[in-house]
């Protein structure tokens, strides 16, 4: 589990709470006002076929603001002067792109 100032982050795969590895990631010149940056690792299990992966903050009841870009999607949560961003690098509307298989096949 990864604790943040807005509460713990939990990861669910097919609605099952799973363990994950959170690795502290580098802060570079693009992250001037960032207190922390983490890379969350989840080992994709091909035998599960299609997987619904959900990353959430159980302590936050409001829906976050979603931003979509090319092969990246993110959701932002706000509380007072704190902004927490959870992002993913993927092409969620496509089955295969740039040699990556997003279909679960």
- Token pair of 61 as six digits: 């009841």
Whether 75 shows a pLDDT value over 60: the answer reads yes
Name the one residue in this structure whose structure tokens are 């709470």: 17
Instruction: Answer whether 104's CB lies under 8 Å from 33's CB.
Output: no
Q: What is the mean pLDDT of residues 41-62?
A: 78
Question: What average pLDDT does the chain have?
Answer: 76
Residue 105 has pLDDT above 70, yes or no: no
Q: Residue 46: pLDDT above 60?
A: yes
Angle 32-76-14 (CA atoms, 0-180°, nearest 5)? 125
Does the structure show a pLDDT above 80 at 72?
Answer: no
Q: Which of 43, 44, 49, 56 is nearest to 12 (CA)?
A: 56
pLDDT band at residue 98 under the 50/70/90 scheme: low
Domain ranges of the chain: 2-101
């Amino acid at each position: 589990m990864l604790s943040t100032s807005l509460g713990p982050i939990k990861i669910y795969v097919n609605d099952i709470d799973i363990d994950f590895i959170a690795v502290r990631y580098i802060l570079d010149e693009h992250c001037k006002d960032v207190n922390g940056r983490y890379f969350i690792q989840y080992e994709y299990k091909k035998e599960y076929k299609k997987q619904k992966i959900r990353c959430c903050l159980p302590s936050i009841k409001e829906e976050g603001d979603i931003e979509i870009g090319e092969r990246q999607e993110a959701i932002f949560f706000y509380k007072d002067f704190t902004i927490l961003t959870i992002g993913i690098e993927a092409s969620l509307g496509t089955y295969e792109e740039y040699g990556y298989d997003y279909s679960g096949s």
